[in-house]
Amino acid sequence: MATIQDVARSAGVSTATVSRVLSAPGRVAEATRARVLAAVDSLGYSPNVAAKMLRTLRTQKILVTVPDISNPFFSQVIRGVEEAASAAGYSVLLGDTRHEPEREDQYAAMLRRKEADGLIFLGHRLSDTLAEMAAALGPGAPIVNGCEYSPALAVSSAHIDNQQAAAEAMAHLYGLGHRRVGVVTGPLASPLSRDRLAGVRAAAQIAGVQAAGAVEGLAVATGDFSVEAGAALARDMLSAATPPTALFCFSDEMAMGALAALRGLGLACPRDVSLVGFDDIRFAAYLDPPLTTVSQPMAEIGHETVRLLLEILSGQAAAPRNVTLPHRLVVRASTAAPVAGTSAGG
Amino acid sequence: MATIQDVARSAGVSTATVSRVLSAPGRVAEATRARVLAAVDSLGYSPNVAAKMLRTLRTQKILVTVPDISNPFFSQVIRGVEEAASAAGYSVLLGDTRHEPEREDQYAAMLRRKEADGLIFLGHRLSDTLAEMAAALGPGAPIVNGCEYSPALAVSSAHIDNQQAAAEAMAHLYGLGHRRVGVVTGPLASPLSRDRLAGVRAAAQIAGVQAAGAVEGLAVATGDFSVEAGAALARDMLSAATPPTALFCFSDEMAMGALAALRGLGLACPRDVSLVGFDDIRFAAYLDPPLTTVSQPMAEIGHETVRLLLEILSGQAAAPRNVTLPHRLVVRASTAAPVAGTSAGG
DNA sequence: CTCGGCGATGTAATCGATTGCATGGGTAGC
DNA sequence: GCTACCCATGCAATCGATTACATCGCCGAG
């Protein structure tokens, strides 16, 4: 491994000059620069990152933590992060927290030890020590939230308008004539779930006013975004005395579970039960029936979080920015008007 | 940020002693050690990784490259890698190569620059420069292959017995009475696909011998593991003059695509077409019908690759080891005996 | 002709740890 | 009581870059 010393010797200059050629090419004379560059690639030199890091306190690394990397929604966002990061000359340190606070703390410590220049966390949980750090450093804290937006944490974030998106999904169901809708949320500790639930309630209210008394109610169950939870909760809801005619799941994964559950109960989708998911993961269009869902721009969320982080790292961030990216309700075949007999109209 | 100097001063010892307390506690007297440790946590000291890295040439990082992180199979393997790595005190640098050679080279360069102690690559492609490095360093090269096994590359690896697994899947279909089977492979550049195909052929031959002339043939199409490819290729195969009565896809994703395609053609699974997938991703059991598939121990593959890499890094590896982990054919509802009329027996 | 100034380059301190070698005190063996 | 050795610890070189400051030569203005 050639060092900067070797290059300097081979080009007949000092290490300072070599360093300048590589980082501030303008400050060194044309001829010298050429000589140095020749030496650089004849020796195949590339700077030692550890030395550079020690000196500059910059790692060129972004730490990305995610509650569950095997969740396709997150893995698509991460793909976007990786893409944008590597385009900007950063590498990605991956942390799968598995929803465990100790692991969150462990990764938080990495950031505090400056093993990465910044942190992008997907999901809503930020370790306490980092929350303090964010509060202390203000907009300069190199921490960005992806997918979620927690007003309590004063950090930049990239996400969709979850409330609005959920309201649209519900409006779609009400528009089709559904009156009893079951909702399978994510953990309510997450603002994202609460926002969506708020959207759901707002839509229900509007629908109730428009068709006075026609909305019979909302069954709400709290899931954890997994197929298994979707299946279990959908089964419960659909086994109730007056089951909903439509189900809205806060993730496509849960919708997949719900689909399996309703089949298990001998019900058909959308004939007996309409189903709406959330995320539009790659498989949503390939389910049977193809899933109506809220499409999130996953790659774009990833890109945007990186952009926000780089903005902070370059010192240009005056205040946290919360970027709302566009979502889209994708109507496929899993939603339809309820069969007349089923809808016990008020 | 407290440095080792601060700790030394505060404990009234030299930096050498502090360093020894932290890395070779046995070599320092009880009383001194206690004093140093007290100073360490009163100052909240933790060593600067860049400095340590510079001095020791160890990064405590593992680079993991993957052709597509958004593929749930890979993301589950990565989850296993991350888990084992972090348990061993390593962090994971993620590289999504997107099947692009330039990105592979870019990450290969990271390893050569020693930005990570070792590389785990999922998939079959290893950049040329690293292949040379592996050849040159022999078993000492800190490179491990996950999921795949390429005899040409003398590197350690963790994977299942793909040939055997594919043969079992085919035997299952033949055992049910299928005679015309369509196979949707992955890219044949990958040994994994070739191994599975060899298993398929071997099984076909055995079935042919056992039930003389009964096996009418094998339609083989080459996919790329994606839902889209699965859908397109299945559609083609099933539209043939004498379509297969069963399909074997080399990934669950492609099987999902195939499922959608056959429904699109008005066919039912398993009544008209049986379907076997590969991987047993989390969703396989939730499809309609639940998918018969070859289950791979994804987390375990991840763990094992880390174990192999650590073995190399500790200098204990005398020769590359290729670890075969157990797979399991999981029979669910997507496979059944072909309907009599459909099977145009010889 | 001289001096100020600037552009190009070199010198050397510095980042924060690790570690080979030196040192000094204590102990055991004879 | 002396020597030899060992254990605990300190000293200082070192890893490979960056960069503030010093230096040198040259040019143009007065």
Residues A59-89: tens digit of each pLDDT:
999 999 999 999 999 999 999 999 999 999 9
Query: Given pLDDT bands bounded at 50, 70 and 90, which one contains residue A1?
Result: confident
In this structure, are residues A2 and A45 in contact, taking their beta carbons and an 8 Å threshold? Answer: yes
Residues A260 and B288: beta-carbon distance below 8 Å: yes
Residue A27 has what pLDDT?
A: 87
pLDDT of residue A97: 97
Q: Tokens at residue B286, please? A: 């939730």
- State residue A344's pLDDT score: 41
What is the reported pTM?
A: 0.94
Tell me the mean pLDDT in the region A223-245.
Answer: 96
Q: Determine contact: A89 vs chain B, CB below 8 A.
A: no
With a CB-CB cutoff of 8 Å, which residues 108-167 of chain A face chain B?
A: 109-110, 113-115
Does A94 touch chain B if contact means CB atoms closer than 8 Å? yes
Q: Which nucleotide is nearest to B14 (CA to C1')?
A: D10
CB burial of residue A256 (10 Å; 0-12, 13-18, 19+):
buried
Tell me the pLDDT band of A339, cut-offs 50, 70 and 90.
Answer: confident
**Three-state SS sequence of chain B:** CCCHHHHHHHHCCCHHHHHHHHHCHHHCCHHHHHHHHHHHHHHCCCCCHHHHHHHHCCCCEEEEEECCCCCHHHHHHHHHHHHHHHHCCCEEEEEECCCCHHHHHHHHHHHHCCCCCEEEEECCCCCHHHHHHHHHHHHHCCEEEECCCCCCCCCEEEEECHHHHHHHHHHHHHHHCCCEEEEEECCCCCHHHHHHHHHHHHHHHHHHHHCCCCCCEEEEEECCCCHHHHHHHHHHHHCCCCCCCEEEECCHHHHHHHHHHHHHCCCCCCCCCEEEEEECCCCHHHCCCCCEEEECCHHHHHHHHHHHHHHHHCCCCCCCCEEEECCEEECCCCCCCCCHHHCCCC
Q: Chain A within 8 Å of B86 (Cβ-Cβ)?
A: yes
Closest listed residue to residue A290, CA positions, set B258, B260, B272, B238: B260
Question: What is the average pLDDT score of chain B?
Answer: 94
Evaluate if residue B315 carries a pLDDT over 50: yes
Q: Note the pLDDT of residue A343.
A: 42
Confidence class for position B208, pLDDT limits 50, 70, 90:
confident
Q: Given A53, A94, A260, which is nearest B94 (Cβ)? A: A94
> Cα separations (Å) of A273 from A145, A219, A238, A264?
35, 14, 9, 13
CA dist A130 and A111 (Å) reads 9
Q: Distance, angstroms, CA A315 to C1' C29?
A: 70
Model confidence at B29: pLDDT above 70 = yes
Q: Give the pLDDT band (50/70/90) at residue B211.
A: low
Lowest mean pLDDT among A162-166, B111-115, B215-219, B241-245: B215-219
Residue-level pLDDT at B1: 84
Tokens representing A191? 């603002």
Instruction: Give me the residue from B83, B86, B113 closest to A49, CB to CB.
Output: B113
Mean pLDDT of B127-141: 92
pLDDT at B216 over 80: no
Kindly tell me if the per-residue pLDDT of B62 is higher than 80.
yes
Residues of B with Cβ-Cβ distance to A84 under 8 angstroms = none
Task: Count how many residues are written for chain B.
Answer: 346
Chain position carrying tokens 């290893």: B126
Closest-CA residue of B relative to A49 is: B115
The whole-number Å distance from B110's CA to D13's C1' is 29
Among B46, B71, B34, which Cα is nearest to B283's?
B71
Q: Does A56 touch chain B (CB under 8 A)?
A: no
> What residue is closest to C9 (Cα–C1')?
A17
Give the Cα separation of B293 and B332 in Å (integer).
8
pLDDT of residue B341: 56
Task: Name the residue of chain A whose CA is nearest to B258's CA.
Answer: A286
Of B50, B78, B231, the CB nearest to A54: B50
A46 touches chain B (CB under 8 A): yes
Beta strands in chain A (DSSP E): 61-66, 91-96, 118-122, 143-146, 156-160, 180-185, 217-222, 246-249, 274-279, 292-295, 322-325, 328-330
User: What pLDDT, in 10s, does the model give residues A277-312?
Assistant: 999 999 999 999 999 999 999 999 999 999 999 999
pLDDT, residue A210, reads: 64
Q: What is the mean pLDDT of residues B63-77?
A: 97
The whole-number pLDDT of residue B231 equals 97
User: Is the model's pLDDT at A342 over the cut of 90?
Assistant: no
Number of Cβ within a 10 Å radius of residue B150 = 18
Contact across the interface for A286 and B50, Cβ inside 8 Å: no
Chain B contact present for A263, CB below 8 A: yes
Which DSSP symbol is given to A181? E
Q: Is the pLDDT of residue A100 over 90?
A: yes
Q: Does B333 touch chain A (CB under 8 A)?
A: no
Stretch among A134-138, B19-23, B51-55, B62-66 having the lowest mean pLDDT: A134-138
3-state secondary structure of A135: helix
**Distance of A90 CA from C26 C1′ (whole Å):** 55
Whether the pLDDT of residue B298 is over 70: the answer is yes
Which residues in chain B have Cβ-Cβ distances shorter than 8 Å to A86? 95, 103, 106
C1'-nearest nucleotide to the CA of B33: D8
- Report the gap between the CA of A25 and the closest CA in chain B (Å): 22
Cβ contacts from A onto B, under 8 A: 138
Asked if the model's pLDDT at residue B81 lies above 60, the reply is yes
Q: Which amino acid is at A210?
A: Q
Task: Write the CA distances from A327 to A159, A298, A301, B185, B195, integer angstroms.
Answer: 9, 10, 11, 35, 43
Rg (CA), chain A: 26
pLDDT given for residue B210 in this prediction = 64
- In angstroms, how far is D27 C1' from A32 CA? 21
From the number of C-beta atoms within 10 Å of its C-beta (0-12, 13-18, 19+), residue B104 rates as: buried
Q: Which of residues 128-167 of A touch strand C (CB under 7 A)?
A: none
Of B1, B59, B227, the CB nearest to A286: B227
What is the percent of chain A with per-residue pLDDT over 90, rounded to a whole number?
A: 89
Mean pLDDT of chain A: 94
- pLDDT of B147 reads 97
Q: Which residue of B has its CA nearest to A63?
A: B93
Interatomic CA distance for residues A135 and A137, integer angstroms: 6
The band of A215, judged by pLDDT with boundaries at 50, 70 and 90, is low
Three-class secondary structure of residue A157 per DSSP: strand
Gap from A29 CA to C1 C1', Å: 30
Rounded to whole angstroms, the Cα distance separating A294 from A147 reads 14
User: A58 in helix, strand or coil?
Assistant: coil
Buried b (16+ CB within 10 A) or exposed e, A262-300: bbeeeeebbebbbbbbbbbbbbbbbbbbbbbbbbbbbbb
Please tell me whether any atom of strand C lies within 7 Å of the Cβ of A3: no
